[in-house]
């Protein structure tokens, strides 16, 4: 004899089915959301990594004139503002370089010596001619200091314009990477400052990097850059920590910047220079 379901049994079954369906939907939504956040974050990390490699290339292509003297117009400048864990206490670095790194191949100054300033700026910052629209890593670019107008030369006229980065109305910051929310820079001033000597520089670098670099007429031996990448998503704030990306760069022209002298030519390397050892 067949037995029909009672109304209560049907209601209970319907309720259980609704609960299972809701739990399945919520689980699927959470998994999909987590996958999307992870994918977006990985894409941001890849784009940021590419942009930061441009900064590294820019530091490796530093320029210093071969005129036998030191010149503060071409020196490396580090403005230490804190630990660099947010835009307001991030450092600012300035140097002279050549080549397309940071500026791009289509920029007219890429083929000449130019000055670069790199920093993290916060959305809403109004220190410059135009307000900053997005938090990220920015660069300011200007031509070679030697090409700027001179004061009181030629026809006797004067140009009192400040052509340095101190003039906020010139050289509007250009966004390099929008995923960077903090920046800290440290330096090794000279090779001999490394504990254990330059030949043993690997494991001991961390003990010798400094936050200060006052020698504006030269460039450091090594530069350490630490970039803080923003969290993946506000919803995952407790589970996704801010990710630091660290780069350490050996500056090729460090020795040259100490005296402004060009490296010895092949003819001089054999010891035939007057007064040198044979």
Judged against a pLDDT cut of 70, whether residue 159 lies above it is answered with no
Judged against a pLDDT cut of 80, whether residue 232 lies above it is answered with no
**What tokens appear for 114 in the block?**
């130019």
Beta bridge partners, 177, equal 137
Look at 206 and 185; give whichever has higher pLDDT: 185
How far is Cα 10 from Cα 88, in angstroms, rounded to an integer? 62
How far is Cα 27 from Cα 217, in angstroms, rounded to an integer? 60
How far is Cα 240 from Cα 51, in angstroms, rounded to an integer? 22
Q: Which of 22-31, 112-121, 267-276 has the lowest mean pLDDT?
A: 267-276
How far is Cα 131 from Cα 168, in angstroms, rounded to an integer? 12
Mean pLDDT value of segment 244-272: 71
Task: Give the per-residue pLDDT at 268.
Answer: 40
Do residues 257 and 70 make contact, with C-beta atoms less than 8 angstroms apart? Answer: yes
Task: Give the per-residue pLDDT at 208.
Answer: 84
Q: Tens digits of per-residue pLDDT, 25-55?
A: 888 888 887 777 777 777 777 878 888 899 9
Q: Tens digits of per-residue pLDDT, 96-112?
A: 999 999 988 888 888 88
Question: Above pLDDT 70, what percent of the chain?
Answer: 78
């Amino acid at each position: 004899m067949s037995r029909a379901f009672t109304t209560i049994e049907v209601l209970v079954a319907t309720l259980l089915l609704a609960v299972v369906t809701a739990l399945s939907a919520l689980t699927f939504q959470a998994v999909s959301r987590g996958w999307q956040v992870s994918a977006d974050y990985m894409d941001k990390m890849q784009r940021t990594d590419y942009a930061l490699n441009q900064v590294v290339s820019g530091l490796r292509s530093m320029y210093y004139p071969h005129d036998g003297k030191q010149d503060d117009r071409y020196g490396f400048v580090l403005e230490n503002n804190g630990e660099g864990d947010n835009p307001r206490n991030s450092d600012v670095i300035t140097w002279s370089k050549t080549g397309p790194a940071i500026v791009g191949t289509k920029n007219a100054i890429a083929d000449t010596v130019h000055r670069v300033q790199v920093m993290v700026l916060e959305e809403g910052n109004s220190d410059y001619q135009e307000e900053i629209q997005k938090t990220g890593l920015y660069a300011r670019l200007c031509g070679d200091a030697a090409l700027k107008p001179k004061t009181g030369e030629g026809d006797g006229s004067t140009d009192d314009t400040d052509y340095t980065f101190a003039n906020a109305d010139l050289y509007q910051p250009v966004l390099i990477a929008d995923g960077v929310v903090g920046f800290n820079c440290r330096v090794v001033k000279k090779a001999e400052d490394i504990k254990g000597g330059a030949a043993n520089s690997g494991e001991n670098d961390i003990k010798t990097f400094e936050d200060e670099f006052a020698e504006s007429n030269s460039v450091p031996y090594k530069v350490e850059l630490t970039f803080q990448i923003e969290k993946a998503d506000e919803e995952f704030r407790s589970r996704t920590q801010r990710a630091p990306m660290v780069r350490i760069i050996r500056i090729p022209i460090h020795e040259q910047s100490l005296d402004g002298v060009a490296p010895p030519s092949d003819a001089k390397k054999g010891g035939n220079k007057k007064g040198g050892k044979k």
